[in-house]
Structure 1
Amino acid sequence: MTLQLHLMFLGCVLLATLAQNLTGFAFGLILLGMVASMNLIPLAEVAIIISLLTVGNALVNLGGPRPELDRSVLMPVLLSSLIGVSIGMWGLGALNESQMTWLRLLLGCVIVIGSLLLVVQSKPRERLSRQPAFWLSGGLCGLLNGLFSSGGPPLVYHLYRQPLGYEVIRNTLITVFAANSVTRLGLVIAQGQMTWHVIWLSLEAFPLVLVVTVLMRRYPPRLSLRAVRWLVFCLLLLAGGGLIRDALPGVLMASA
């Protein structure tokens, strides 16, 4: 990679980290969408980088006092998501080159859906959903994390509709995403897919993620939640729309 490509990559990491600290979940979606739409790094490699940075970011966010969690919510989501990660990783390894075009289209659609979930106002439920709903949302989250380390939309949408406190939701998301990332990294290492290129890019990006996270916790920006959501919505929509635009011609040709 040239110096220009490294700077572009770090710029994507910066925007994704800002969004993550503002919204709580958009890191993987924005980083994967922007990097993939600009073809900076292969899709499989950037997914590994996201997993490494997610684990590091979780250690920073969950460090200190014991985080507030609800085990009745966490356990079904966590267990089902870990199963989903394994299935997603297996599916990713089984795809051939032509099917990767479909994967890019799917990723673009997931990112666009994630952007819409940020701005669609959904009234919280009066009571907790039943356990099967948590297993389903966790499983979908894990499947998407296994495919491309961006499983936020189904789980975020489900949890934010529950009558739970912000800290419980935030800590649940961070814990589940970190556990998924550790599992995914273990499978990547076992399959011999971890390369020095991926490790160096992760080491290059992590200090930026750490500094931005610490600064934003100490000096939170004076923006309304509505303004933040619309800002991130625009970034996600551009990234997801770019992926759909690039993948659609190939999908249409393959279907013809």
Structure 2
Amino acid sequence: MTSFIEAIDLGGMNAALISFSLVCVLGAAVVRGFSGFGFSLLSITALSLVMEPAAIVPSIFMLEVAASLPLLPGIWRDIHWRSIGWLLLGYTVFVPIGVWLLANAPVAPMKLALGIFVIATAIMLLRGFALKQMPSRVATLAAGGASGLLNGAFGIGGPPVVLFYFSSPAGAAAGRASIIAFFIATDLLGLGFQAREGLITGTSFWRFLLFLPPLLIGVWIGNRGFKSVDPALFRRIVLWLLVVLAVLTAAQGLFQLWSGPGSAEI
């Protein structure tokens, strides 16, 4: 038993850090279970206050997959499969370009611009803008490409896809289900790239196991909340959540501009 405990490597996390991390994961998981997105940005933003982002991103990606899989049976029939295919095609093509931007372009101004764009678009949708029909293949490819570009550049590829579905006539259930399905696919792709680069370690896996119980509890709580909420109210809540996440993203950009080149890139 002692040797097993000694084999657990959490990267030097003490009791206070573990407690803080568990609370952060639980809160982000409730949001994810309710809306279908937001877990990565909320958890990474909170945990980055006390840990290096590079040390937690692989574990968060594992948790993203674990957060989504329990929801699949209940959302399978609502997924808009045709749009998912075109979104993933655009995403896959543009991820390498985003990675190139990460290596060659300043990230902070891009984050600030993204935050401002998402806030403006979400407010426009809150004021009643909506498409009368599903976007064309070209528009769907463009949304997927924007997601891949942003995810490759700084790990925040969710806003274009969320805005895509919540401006379309797909409906709350179909939009949420499709967002969840899209993120399962992109998270698995992301884990593959991380494994290839040697970023997934034993510490990543042990942290994943540590965070798994609060993740599952939070997703269950959030999913129950979605089932009882009015679709119109759900749409408003999701858009305001997107505004909050965009404000966090813009704030990260401003902080990195203020801190200079030595600041974190996530």
Class of the TM-score when normalised by the shorter of the 2 chains: 0.7 to 0.9
Which residue among 92, 97, 110 is the counterpart of 1:82? Answer: 92
Partners of 2:33 and 2:220 within 8 A in 1: no
C-alpha spacing 1:210/1:114, structure 2 compared with 1 (3 Å): farther
C-alpha spacing 1:23/1:7, structure 2 compared with 1 (3 Å): same
Which stretch of structure 1 is more off in the superposition, 174-183 or 104-113?
A: 104-113
Shift of 1:53: 1.2
Kindly report the root-mean-square deviation, in angstroms, between the aligned alpha carbons of the 2 structures: 3.3
- What residue in structure 2 maps to residue 67 of structure 1? 77
Shift of 1:65: 7.2
The amino acid across from 1:159 in the alignment is Y
- What residue in structure 2 maps to residue 41 of structure 1? 51
The amino acid across from 1:181 in the alignment is D
Partners of 2:150 and 2:157 within 8 A in 1: yes
SS at match of 1:67: helix
**1:24 and 2:36 equivalent?**
yes
**Superposition pairs of residues 144-183 of structure 1, within 5 angstroms:** 144-183=150-189
- What residue in structure 1 maps to residue 204 of structure 2? 198
**Superposition pairs of residues 127-138 of structure 1, within 5 angstroms:** 127-138=133-144
Partners of 1:115 and 1:237 within 8 A in 2: yes
Shift of 1:150: 2.5
Q: For 1:243 and 1:130, how far apart are their aligned partners in 2?
A: 33
Give the ranges of 4+ consecutive aligned residues of structure 1 lying more than 6 Å apart after TM superposition: none
C-alpha spacing 1:62/1:252, structure 2 compared with 1 (3 Å): closer
Q: For 2:111 and 2:250, how far apart are their aligned partners in 1?
A: 10
- What residue in structure 2 maps to residue 243 of structure 1? 252
Q: For 1:57 and 1:157, how far apart are their aligned partners in 2?
A: 21
C-alpha spacing 1:231/1:205, structure 2 compared with 1 (3 Å): farther
**1:6 and 2:5 equivalent?**
no
Q: Report how many aligned residue pairs link the two structures.
A: 246
Shift of 1:48: 2.2
Q: For 2:58 and 2:179, how far apart are their aligned partners in 1?
A: 19
Shift of 1:64: 5.3
Shift of 1:180: 0.6
Q: For 2:75 and 2:166, how far apart are their aligned partners in 1?
A: 24
Shift of 1:105: 5.4
* Sequence identity percentage: 24
SS at match of 2:79: coil
Q: For 1:10 and 1:181, how far apart are their aligned partners in 2?
A: 21
C-alpha spacing 1:134/1:179, structure 2 compared with 1 (3 Å): same
The amino acid across from 2:252 in the alignment is L
C-alpha spacing 1:200/1:87, structure 2 compared with 1 (3 Å): farther
User: Where in structure 1 are there 5+ consecutive unaligned residues?
Assistant: none
User: Where in structure 2 are there 5+ consecutive unaligned residues?
Assistant: 1-12
Shift of 1:44: 3.0
SS at match of 1:63: helix
